[in-house]
């Protein structure tokens, strides 16, 4: 799916396309609509930069048991634990 935002909207908001993507990603992440991984992909930035951005805004990373278990499984499959 593609969303087209007219240039005049971006100009009125005084935002670049990248800034708008980041704002949308942060909003969806903060509302727990998408994971941090999906949010950083939407924003088209690496995970560390996304984490820094949300930390600067005082947004806590929500990380539940299910996500922890998924991370453990991935690490096991990679032979790291």
Which residues are CB-contacts of 48 (< 8 A; sequence separation ≥ 6)?
none
Of 9, 51, 59, residue with least CA distance to 43:
51
Q: Which residues of the chain have pLDDT under 50?
A: none
Residue spans of the domains in the chain: they are 7-77
Q: Provide the pLDDT for residue 26.
A: 97
Quote the CA–CA distance of 9 and 60 in Å, as a whole number. 30
């Amino acid at each position: 799916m593609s969303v087209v935002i007219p240039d005049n909207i971006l100009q009125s908001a005084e935002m670049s396309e990248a800034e708008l993507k980041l704002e949308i990603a942060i909003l969806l992440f903060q509302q727990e609509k998408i994971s941090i991984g999906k949010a950083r992909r939407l924003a088209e930035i690496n995970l560390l930069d996304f984490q820094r951005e949300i930390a600067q805004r005082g947004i806590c990373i929500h990380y539940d048991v299910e996500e922890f278990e998924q991370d453990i499984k991935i690490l096991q499959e990679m032979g790291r634990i």
